[in-house]
């Protein structure tokens, strides 16, 4: 069992569903559901991973660590309390006086796709290299940077420095990403990418970064940058994997009913990370990722679809590989 450190955003989400385009044309619009939830890529990953590794955590309280940034406010306290309940170690997380913890408004369309209202001055966009330790705890064997491009303070230079620190300690490096904010290209983060062992990106994110339209071509570009294993997440189509041994599609779980895609990519990453932590083969990691992504979209909210490991194992039975 390898301990995992996840670095990324921890925020609160206000989820509104379903939202139609005419919402901005009326003074008051009734909806089916308004829900308060924890969110943020890092917190979502850590929450799902902690649930999947619940048995391991009984004898290892640091199996899942989260390094996130919050303000010293009520929202920040709620996030840290959530971590305590879920068994997520936050000893490396930072709380800053005078900083507002991020709160997102998530508008969910009838097809499950989402739009966000975010505060760029909140903790969501303020995580930087200054919040990172000079060296990581010796027991950390896997680092997951939950989303490249979420914080504008983490440019390619800072990201490469963080990964260099991890690489010097022999830590396996994983990274997810969101859509680029300033028209960045592969060249802008090439040094950082060359140190990544497992990269998770959805088709839209990877397409913008590479300028390619086909998942196969996106993966090829990223692999040629030095990423050892490129995983392009493609929703209902499954995922495409490129490494030195294979370039292959792995289909999604059939007959999945999509309610809300919030946190689906984070859940995929968590499922994959659970496999890395338990040192199973790459195919098993992929199966776990696709199973967790499938479970995530069937419930409203980032982490409500996955409560325990048994759900993942049952869902994996539907996969034909």
Whole-angstrom distance, CA of residue 288 vs CA of residue 267? 10
CATH number among 3.40.1190.20, 3.50.30.50, 1.10.10.10, 3.40.50.170, domain 3-316: 3.40.1190.20
Please give the model's pTM, rounded to 2 decimal places: 0.94
Q: Concatenate the DSSP letters of all residues of 220-276 into one string.
A: HHHHHTT-SEEEEE-GGG-EEEESSS-EEEEPPPTT---S--TTHHHHHHHHHHHHH
Which positions ≥6 away from 281 have C-beta within 8 Å? none
Per residue of the chain (321 residues), what is the pLDDT tens digit? 999 999 999 999 999 999 988 788 877 889 999 999 999 999 999 999 999 999 989 999 999 999 999 999 999 999 999 999 999 999 999 999 999 999 999 999 988 888 899 999 999 999 999 999 999 999 999 999 998 999 999 999 999 999 999 999 999 999 999 999 889 999 999 999 999 999 999 999 999 999 999 999 999 999 999 999 999 999 999 999 999 999 999 999 999 999 989 899 999 999 999 999 999 999 999 999 999 999 999 998 889 999 999 999 999 999 999
């Amino acid at each position: 069992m390898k301990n995992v450190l996840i670095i990324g955003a921890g925020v609160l989400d206000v989820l509104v569903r379903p939202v139609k385009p005419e919402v901005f044309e009326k003074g008051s619009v009734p909806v089916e559901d308004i829900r308060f939830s924890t969110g943020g890529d890092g917190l979502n990953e850590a929450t799902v991973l902690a649930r999947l590794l619940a048995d391991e955590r009984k004898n290892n309280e640091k199996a899942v660590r989260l390094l996130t940034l919050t303000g010293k406010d009520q929202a920040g306290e709620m996030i840290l309390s959530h971590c305590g309940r879920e068994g997520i170690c936050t000893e490396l997380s930072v709380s800053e006086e005078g900083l507002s913890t991020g709160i997102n408004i998530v508008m969910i369309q009838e097809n499950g796709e989402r739009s966000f209202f975010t505060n760029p001055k909140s903790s969501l966009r303020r995580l930087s290299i200054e919040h990172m330790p000079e060296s990581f705890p010796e027991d950390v064997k896997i680092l997951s940077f939950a989303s490249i491009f979420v914080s504008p303070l983490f440019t390619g230079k800072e990201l490469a420095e963080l990964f260099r620190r991890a690489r010097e300690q022999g830590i396996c490096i994983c990274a997810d990403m969101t859509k680029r904010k300033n028209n960045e290209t592969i060249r802008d983060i090439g040094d950082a990418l060359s140190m990544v062992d497992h990269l998770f990106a959805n088709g839209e994110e990877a397409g913008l970064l590479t300028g390619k339209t086909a998942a196969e071509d996106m993966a090829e570009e990223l692999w040629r940058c030095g990423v050892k294993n490129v995983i392009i997440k493609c929703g209902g189509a499954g995922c495409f994997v490129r490494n030195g041994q294979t370039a292959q599609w792995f289909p999604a779980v059939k007959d999945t009913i999509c309610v809300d895609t919030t946190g689906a990519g984070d859940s995929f990453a968590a499922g994959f990370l659970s496999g890395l932590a338990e040192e199973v083969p790459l195919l098993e990691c992929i199966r776990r990722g696709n199973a967790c992504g499938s479970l995530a979209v069937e419930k409203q909210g980032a982490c409500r679809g996955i409560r325990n490991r048994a759900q993942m194992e049952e869902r994996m039975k539907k996969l034909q590989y």
